[in-house]
Structure 1
Amino acid sequence: MTGAARTGAVATRRRGDGLLAAIFDAVFDQLRTVGYANLTMDRVAAAAGTSKTVLYRRWAAKEDMIADAVRYRLPNPGDVPLTGDVRADVHALLRCVQASFSATRGTALQLVSAEAGCGRPAVRQTIIDHVVEPCVRLIGEVLRRAAERGEIRPESASELVAASGPAMLVQYSLIREPIVPDEFVAAVVDQIVLPLTARSAR
C-alpha cells in the first residue's frame, strides 16, 4: 500500500470514528432533552447529521444503540491505578463509578430507571457489567489485601462492605442529583467504607 493510500485509509477510519462519536453525542443530547421514552432513531439521526438508514445498519433497535453509546462512554475500572493504600484505592475506584455518571452526562441512572420493567434492560446490564461489578470486585480485592496486611478487620473484607460505596453513589444519583459531587464520594469513603473496616469497630 502506498503512503497516499495509507493516509486515505486512516482518514476514512477517522471519519467513521467521528460519525460514531457524533451519533453517541446525539444520543446523550436527546436523552437529556426529550428523555428515554421519546428518543427515536429519527431524532438521533437528525441531531447527528446522518440518516436513519445508517443507524439501522448498525443497530436493530434504539435500546441497542443506547447501550453501545453508554458502553462507549463508560470508564474502565481496570485502568484505575492501585497503590496499596486502602483509602486512596477505594476512593479512586469510587471515583470511577462517579465518572460513569459524568461520562454519560448524568443520564446513566435515568436510563436504568426508564428500563424498569423492560423485558431487555440492556443499559442497566451494561452499567453493571462494565463499571459497578468490576469496581465492587476490585474494592473487595483492595480490602482482602489490606486484611492480609493486618490493616483492617478480616471479616470486613466482604462483598457487602465492598458494595457499600458503589451502592451509595448509585442511590445519590437516583434520588438526589444525576452527577455525584466529589465531596460526597470522599464522605462515603471516610464515613461509611473505612469505619466498616476499622479494627476498633464493633
Structure 2
Amino acid sequence: MAQRRRGAELEKALLDAAWDELTDNGYARFTMDAVVKRAGTSPPVLYRRWSDRDELIRATIVHILKESRPAVPDTGSLREDLLTLMREIATSHVQLVTVMYAHLASYHRDTGRSPSSLFDPIATGRTAALDMLFERSASRGEIRSERLTDRIKTLPFVLLRHEILSTFAPVPEHVLEEIVDTIFLPLVR
C-alpha cells in the first residue's frame, strides 16, 4: 500500500509531475487533469494549492529553477567565479533552458505575459546568489559596486541564455571568456 504524501513531499511530487507533463507534452497540451493523473492524486489536492493552469505553471518553473540552481562558486576572483558558474550553466543546463523556452513559446499568446516573467530571479533565489557573488567581488576591490545595476548583474547570463537558445548546444569556453572579459568586466571596473 502506497504511503500518503503530505506537506513539502506532496508539493514536490505535484510540481515534479507538472514539470514532467510540461516537458513531455508542452505548454499547449498542459492541463491540470494531466498533472493530477501523472501525480497519482485527486483534483482537490492540486486545486487547493494552485487555482489554475497559469498559477501551476508559474510555481513549476520556480520549483525547477530552485532545484537546478548551481552553487555559487567562491574562487577568490570575480572572473573565475563568473566563468565557473557560466560553465556549469553552459553545459549541464542547456537542456533545461531549451526545453523551457521551446515549450513556453505560446505562453505569451495565451496569457499576455512574457515567458521571461516566469523566471523571477527573486523567487528562484538567483538574485540573492548573484548579489553575494558581486558583494564579495566589491569587498575585494575588483569592481565598483555603483556600476552594478540589476541589468548589468544579469547581463552575462542573458548573453549566455542567448547563446544556448541560438545553438541548442553547450557554449564553448572562448564564448564564455568573451562574454566575461570583453563585455561584462569592462562595464563594472
Instruction: Give me the TM-score of the superposition, normalised by structure 1.
Output: 0.65
In the TM superposition, what are the counterparts of 1:1-202 in structure 2 within 5 Å?
15-75=6-66, 80-94=72-86, 101=93, 104=96, 106-119=98-111, 121=113, 124-129=116-121, 130=124, 141=135, 144=138, 148-149=141-142, 159=149, 162-177=153-168, 181=170, 184=171, 186-196=173-183, 197=185
Letter in 1 for 2:176: V
Distance 1:20 1:93 in 2: 29
Distance 2:98 2:117 in 1: 17
Letter in 2 for 1:127: F
Distance 1:78 1:27 in 2: 22
The two structures, once aligned, show a CA RMSD in angstroms of 4.0
Q: State the Cα distance separating 1:133 from its structure 2 match.
A: 5.2
Q: State the Cα distance separating 1:131 from its structure 2 match.
A: 5.9
Distance 1:163 1:64 in 2: 25
Q: Deviations over 1:59-104 (max 9, x none)?
A: 1111111211221222387952433312221124435755994695
Distance 2:91 2:44 in 1: 32
Q: State the Cα distance separating 1:55 from its structure 2 match.
A: 1.0
Gaps of 5+ in 2: none
Residue aligned with 1:74, SS? helix
Letter in 2 for 1:29: D
Counting matched residue pairs gives 180
Q: Deviations over 1:102-143 (max 9, x none)?
A: 695853323553322444638632413236655665665566
User: Percent same amino acid at aligned positions?
Assistant: 25
| Structure whose alpha-carbon radius of gyration is higher | 1
- The change in CA–CA distance for 1:189 and 1:101 in structure 2 (over 3 A counts) is closer
Q: Deviations over 1:122-177 (max 9, x none)?
A: 8632413236655665665566556x34xx7x6xx554654432112221343332
- The change in CA–CA distance for 1:102 and 1:61 in structure 2 (over 3 A counts) is farther
- The change in CA–CA distance for 1:158 and 1:17 in structure 2 (over 3 A counts) is closer
Gaps of 5+ in 1: 1-10
Residue aligned with 1:50, SS? coil
Contact 2:21–2:30 (Cα < 8 Å) also in 1: yes
Larger RCO, structure (CA 8 Å, separation 6 or more): 2
